[in-house]
Chains A and B, each alone.
Chain A
Amino acid sequence: MTVLPGTPARTDRGRMARAAWLIGLGIVLLILPRLIYPVLALDILAWGLFAVAFDLLFGFSGLLSFGHAAFWGTSAYVTAFLLSHGQSVPVAMLGGTGAALLIAVPIGFLSVRSVGIYFSMITLAFAQMLSFLALQWTDVTGGENGLQGFARPNFLGLDFSDSVTRYYFALAVFTVGFYVAYRTVRSPFGQVQQAVRDNEQRAQSIGYNPARFKFTAFLISAGLAGLAGSLYTFGHGVVSLEVVNWRTSGEVVMMTLLGGTTTLFGPVIGAGLVLLLRDVLTTANLPAGIVTGVVFVLVVLFFRRGVVGTLQYWLRRR
């Protein structure tokens, strides 16, 4: 992935810049439900974490998964299923995340053996397999109708019927997920992961096993995507076939690109921008696909660094 901007060096300036991003993002997320309606704010958290999970694989391992909806969707369905069978919110979320991890084992095992575009197509096909399963296994998934009207029992005195309470609970979960991603990228594991991305042969000759690092990165990414999917179900109280559709896999790619790959903050901002844009478009009754498509094309052609990547580039050049 030679075109991707490298990870900034571990300098004091880099550390300060990261702290500034972290504080800025933190403040925005804390006051977000006062700025826009809380359900949309929670959506941004869920999609943001999803995009971070995707970027962990794409930006930091160079693997473009075109089937990440598989993990997001599986978790969304399992979470909804557990909630409708009377489980508490944390148990349902953990169950959803666990399910996403579980299916990531065979999918990851089969797909990380391929590189580049092969990897993209294989992940896409696996996701599509799950999408058909979701359509046909109506007892569990509700088929075309999806699952809705499930309970979200109160937890530790938190009243989940209140959307603002739901948002702040989701923010706590998001923070845990984001921290996992952040630690992964900044750890020795993350360094090797990027070494494998930049030059697989060299990493191998130093004695690392590229396939193992890719597989582990795949699992972490799938698990976080699962956590994000469970957040989405928790926020909406509805799950439909859309969560396993290939458009979902594509949308998370767009959010990540728009925000900026390899930045971790970028995907969250990208998710926010896309969802806000879509919200404006639906209320204005404009065809969303046309605008989303145009944005996608423009970003790929002229704006590959994304919002955060471009900002970082300017700041570093100064």
Chain B
Amino acid sequence: MNTQLLLIQVFNGLVNGAFYALLSLGLAVIFGMLRIVNFMHGALYMLGAFTAFALGQAFGLGFWPSLILAPLIVGLLGMGLERGLLSRLYGLEPSYNLLLTFGLTLLTQDLVKQVMLSRFAVSSAPYTPPAALSGVVNLGFVVFPKYRLFVIALALVICLVTWFVIEKTRVGAIIRASTENPNVTRAFGIDVGKWVTGVFGVGVALAGLAGVLAAPIYSVEPYMGAELIITTFAVVVIGGMGSILGSIVTGFAVGVLAAVGSALYPPIANTLVFILMALVLLVRPSGLFGLPEGAR
């Protein structure tokens, strides 16, 4: 294989990695603070894409307003879910959160399918990127679609901002304090419940944003999050559950490794991430960036 092809694979891998990173980042934020394993994350990613599509169909809104609005809508929906349903399960085994969100996933996927079929008469719809981002860019060593470069760049920026806010700012300090010890944090006069809802909303909005970004590449389809969420779970396990930096680095790394791996040996494309996961678990059961389970 020549260098040119390899480089294109690396860039394609970065695009996939951008989605893994955004999704696993949201999962990590939610898990780190709420101990919720949000199985619905894939469905919310799909809802992000679907909302952008529906906004376009119903109000003629283009990509840019949808890029802001769809994550907001998904985030608000997530906050409603947290308040209305998930909060009823706090204090029980975290498994019940997983089960509840699994049920919600089945529900959401088929609901969107019904809506798409009955309201828009399609089962899957293409979504066009804005004119400013169509075409290709010549990077000197490789020619690559402009929109895909934009996805990589935006995902990187969002990931770094999220990491910075959580690790370096006062807001992050409150979030981390609420995670470590909710009771003491409450004693300082901080309304932990509100922060929990807010964090859930932000984590879910990240999934919605990833969905809007994915729409022009993969087109809008009710089950577009179904396989992706499983890969994302594997990324989260490799990176270490709840680790912000781990989810970002592993997300991009897994994307690139899988793309390069599949160029060398195509059948391995989808399984590579799970093979990686098994190997990492053998050596470090708590993931590359995770703390040992007892230390939480």
What CA separation (Å) do A135 and B88 show in the bound complex? Answer: 39
**Chain B interface size range:** 35 or more
In the complex, how many angstroms separate the beta carbon of B128 from the nearest chain A beta carbon?
29
What CA separation (Å) do A135 and B274 show in the bound complex? Answer: 15
What CA separation (Å) do A132 and B262 show in the bound complex? Answer: 14
Structural contact, B93 and A129, CB atoms closer than 8 A: no
Which of chain B's residues have a CB closer than 8 A to the CB of A1?
A: 93
Structural contact, A292 and B293, CB atoms closer than 8 A: no
Which of chain B's residues have a CB closer than 8 A to the CB of A64?
A: 95, 98-99
Structural contact, A288 and B110, CB atoms closer than 8 A: yes
- Selecting from B13-21, B175-183, B228-236, the interface stretch reads B228-236
Structural contact, A287 and B293, CB atoms closer than 8 A: no
| Given A287-B110, A297-B85: A257 and B99 interface contact (C-beta under 8 Å) | yes
Which of chain A's residues have a CB closer than 8 A to the CB of B237?
A: 118, 121-122, 125
Structural contact, B107 and A290, CB atoms closer than 8 A: yes
- In this assembly, does B169 line the interface, its C-beta being within 8 Å of a C-beta of chain A? no
Which of chain B's residues have a CB closer than 8 A to the CB of A299?
A: 103
**Chain A interface size range:** 35 or more
- In this assembly, does B96 line the interface, its C-beta being within 8 Å of a C-beta of chain A? yes
Contact of A129 among B104, B109, B274 (CB under 8 A): B274
Q: Which of B85-105 contact A (CB under 8 A)?
A: 85, 88-89, 92-96, 98-100, 102-105
- In this assembly, does A45 line the interface, its C-beta being within 8 Å of a C-beta of chain B? no
What CA separation (Å) do A128 and B282 show in the bound complex? Answer: 18
What CA separation (Å) do A290 and B226 show in the bound complex? Answer: 15
- In this assembly, does B135 line the interface, its C-beta being within 8 Å of a C-beta of chain A? no
Give the residue name and chain of the B residue nearest to A120 (CB).
B98
Which of chain A's residues have a CB closer than 8 A to the CB of B226?
A: 246
Give the residue name and chain of the A residue nearest to B269 (CB).
A132
| Given A132-B271, A296-B106: A124 and B230 interface contact (C-beta under 8 Å) | yes
Contact of B109 among A113, A254, A289, A294 (CB under 8 A): A289
- In this assembly, does A304 line the interface, its C-beta being within 8 Å of a C-beta of chain B? yes
Structural contact, B114 and A287, CB atoms closer than 8 A: yes
Which of chain B's residues have a CB closer than 8 A to the CB of A297?
A: 85, 100, 103-104, 107
Which of chain A's residues have a CB closer than 8 A to the CB of B108?
A: 293
Contact of A120 among B37, B103, B107, B230 (CB under 8 A): B37
Q: Which of B262-283 contact A (CB under 8 A)?
A: 267, 270-271, 274-275, 277-278, 281-282
- In this assembly, does A218 line the interface, its C-beta being within 8 Å of a C-beta of chain B? no
Contact with B along A269-299 (1 / 0, CB 8 A): 0000000000000000001111011111101
- In this assembly, does B220 line the interface, its C-beta being within 8 Å of a C-beta of chain A? no
What CA separation (Å) do A122 and B237 show in the bound complex? Answer: 8
Structural contact, A110 and B282, CB atoms closer than 8 A: yes
In the complex, how many angstroms separate the beta carbon of A292 from the nearest chain B beta carbon?
6
In the complex, how many angstroms separate the beta carbon of B42 from the nearest chain A beta carbon?
10
Contact with B along A121-151 (1 / 0, CB 8 A): 1101110110011011000000000000000
Structural contact, A116 and B100, CB atoms closer than 8 A: no
| Given A116-B94, A296-B102, A301-B88: A125 and B233 interface contact (C-beta under 8 Å) | yes
- In this assembly, does B241 line the interface, its C-beta being within 8 Å of a C-beta of chain A? yes
Structural contact, A124 and B233, CB atoms closer than 8 A: yes
What CA separation (Å) do A250 and B85 show in the bound complex? Answer: 19
- In this assembly, does B113 line the interface, its C-beta being within 8 Å of a C-beta of chain A? yes
Contact of B99 among A135, A292, A296 (CB under 8 A): A296
Structural contact, B270 and A116, CB atoms closer than 8 A: no
- In this assembly, does B165 line the interface, its C-beta being within 8 Å of a C-beta of chain A? no
Which of chain B's residues have a CB closer than 8 A to the CB of A293?
A: 103-108, 110
Contact with A along B108-120 (1 / 0, CB 8 A): 1111011000000
In the assembled complex, 25 residue pairs joining A and B whose CB atoms fall closer than 8 Å, in A order, are A110-B281, A110-B282, A116-B93, A116-B94, A117-B94, A118-B241, A121-B234, A121-B241, A122-B237, A122-B281, A124-B230, A125-B277, A126-B274, A246-B226, A246-B230, A287-B110, A289-B107, A290-B106, A290-B111, A293-B105, A293-B106, A293-B110, A296-B106, A300-B96, A301-B88
- Beyond the given pairs A129-B278, A132-B270, A296-B103, 11 more chain A to chain B contacts, judged by CB atoms under 8 angstroms and listed by A's residue number, are A3-B92, A114-B293, A116-B93, A116-B95, A121-B236, A136-B271, A288-B110, A289-B107, A293-B106, A300-B100, A304-B96
